[in-house]
Structure 1
Amino acid sequence: MSVLSGLFDRDGAEPSVVRAMPVILRVERDLPGRTPLLEAAAAAAVAVCLDERAQEGGEWHPLVSAWIDGRIRKVSRRARGAHWHAVQDLPGVTVSVDGASARALLPWPVDETPKTVSRLQISGTELPMDEPGPVADGVPVLWVNPTVEMTVGKLAAQVGHGSMLLAAMAEADGVDLSKWDCHCAVRLSRPGEWNPDVSWERDRAVAVRDAGFTEVEPGTVTVVAQWG
């Protein structure tokens, strides 16, 4: 089992050390597509967790397992130009989808976040809505709640939560994740089709409930992650 199995062992208590995974979104003057950027962020977040360096005995394991055992907070930041290239030197995984790129970094204690990251802006990551095509057969889907407004930065964190929870559920169900490329489609659910009341046994899906620290009310289901 991967380090993601720790998601099932948390006791719900607030950890003494606040840790967060920085998710860096590449937003140059020539803007990336909204959906490809969210898909890149979702894939990068789970790719860090499934990386062999994050498993027991690997160099990333202490940081990743301590984070998963607490709360899986993520903080999305935007970068371009030299700032984007600078974060490539920090440990993490970069994923690109249709020309859009995101890099998920190791989840440090927030008061130890490197200056290379902390100087990057959190707000202002807004991109126009797009109309992605149909989802290919067998590809997991992260369905976004159409009834609440979220910034692209907030959504990047939420789909990252979704990809992680989905991988953990699939692995526990016997899926061989070594054959998965970490890609999930991100789609805005149609209002009449949005249903957050899902179960793995019935729907092969899991709901992402937000803690409510930013933008949405506590307990809001932001994403429904469904295995392909």
Structure 2
Amino acid sequence: MSTDESTTYTAPEDSPFRPRDEARDQARQFVLPLVVRIERAAPPARTDALETAARAVLVLLGDERSLGDGEWARAVRDWQDARIRKVVRRARGAEWRRAEALPGITVTGRAAEVRVFPPVAVDDWPKDLARLQVSGTDLDDPEPPAQAGPGLPVLWMNPEVAMSAGKAMAQAGHGAQLAWWELSDADRAAWREAGFPLAVRTASPGHWRELVRSGLPLVRDAGFTEIAPGSCTVVADHPALR
């Protein structure tokens, strides 16, 4: 799984989330921790884990504690003012129970469980999260995922870039966040009220080339792990952005 994922994406000029390029790498860096539950006897399917991780990012962004004067708002602002780094770790048994005891939100998918925590400084992780492993386990889909339903937001993965499950979870989270940044307040509210429905699918090569040219939010990885810097990994295709 990934150890440190971030994107070089910047929001539109009029976005309140647009980081200042000249300062963001000099500021103290923050990271969004995500922990996926992987019990040895019953690991989740890969696509389920990717979709649940993406929804977890959105749930945190839309939570009242992350907004305005909420208790997590300062940490979320500091994180979004720099690179939107995400780290995915895994836990099971007692590790998972300790993670659940920390402030955060658990989001469930079909079988996957992902807990997202308010951002932390990269050099100041909570002890019970810092000790969790980030490597050694990957996830697979027992069957190819079904076609995404009509009108459903889709996070399209690059078919030509191989990624571990953790790396892909972080990238799906990036894609969901970029879509959130570009939506209007009304569209954000509607998506939140619907429970953040979405799908994660791998595009065909031809479709991917069309998506990259479409003007939809595009994740370009910073290249800290696994893939080359600047690699395009995800296009966020939300109907409201068409």
Which TM-score applies when normalising by structure 1? 0.90
Q: Are 1:139 and 2:149 an aligned pair? A: no
Pairwise CA RMSD: 1.6
SS state at 1:138 partner: coil
- Aligned pairs for 1:35-114 (under 5 A) are 35-114=47-126
What is the aligned partner in structure 1 of residue 232 from structure 2?
Answer: 221
What is the aligned partner in structure 2 of residue 208 from structure 1?
Answer: 219
Deviations along 1:53-103, one digit per CA (max 9) or x if unpaired, are 100111110101100011100011011111112111222221111111111
| Deviation of 1:50 (Å) | 1.0
Aligned partner letter, 2:80? I
Aligned partner letter, 1:154? K
Q: 2:44 aligns with which of 25, 32, 51?
A: 32
Deviations along 1:154-208, one digit per CA (max 9) or x if unpaired, are 0111000111111111126x524243412320101122321252444xxxx2111
What is the aligned partner in structure 2 of residue 152 from structure 1?
Answer: 165
Q: Are 1:7 and 2:21 an aligned pair? A: no
CA–CA separation in structure 1 for the residues paired with 2:200 and 2:212? 19
Gaps of at least 5 residues in structure 1 are none
What is the aligned partner in structure 2 of residue 185 from structure 1?
Answer: 199
Would the aligned equivalents of 2:180 and 2:188 in 1 still touch at CA under 8 Å? no
Q: 191-200 or 158-167, which moves further after superposition? A: 191-200
Q: Are 1:167 and 2:177 an aligned pair? A: no
SS state at 1:95 partner: strand
Would the aligned equivalents of 1:45 and 1:164 in 2 still touch at CA under 8 Å? yes
Q: Are 1:197 and 2:212 an aligned pair? A: yes
SS state at 1:111 partner: coil
CA–CA separation in structure 2 for the residues paired with 1:58 and 1:134? 38
Identity %: 43
Aligned partner letter, 2:70? G
Would the aligned equivalents of 2:19 and 2:80 in 1 still touch at CA under 8 Å? no
CA–CA separation in structure 1 for the residues paired with 2:22 and 2:178? 16
Deviations along 1:107-145, one digit per CA (max 9) or x if unpaired, are 100111011001101112311244111212222100011
Following TM superposition, the consecutive aligned residue runs of length 4 or more in structure 1 with deviations greater than 3 angstroms are none
SS state at 2:183 partner: helix
Would the aligned equivalents of 1:86 and 1:116 in 2 still touch at CA under 8 Å? yes
Would the aligned equivalents of 2:44 and 2:112 in 1 still touch at CA under 8 Å? yes
Would the aligned equivalents of 1:6 and 1:65 in 2 still touch at CA under 8 Å? no
Gaps of at least 5 residues in structure 2 are 1-14
How many residues are treated as equivalent by the alignment? 219
Aligned partner letter, 1:212? G
Q: Which has the higher contact order (CA 8 A, sep 6+)?
A: 2
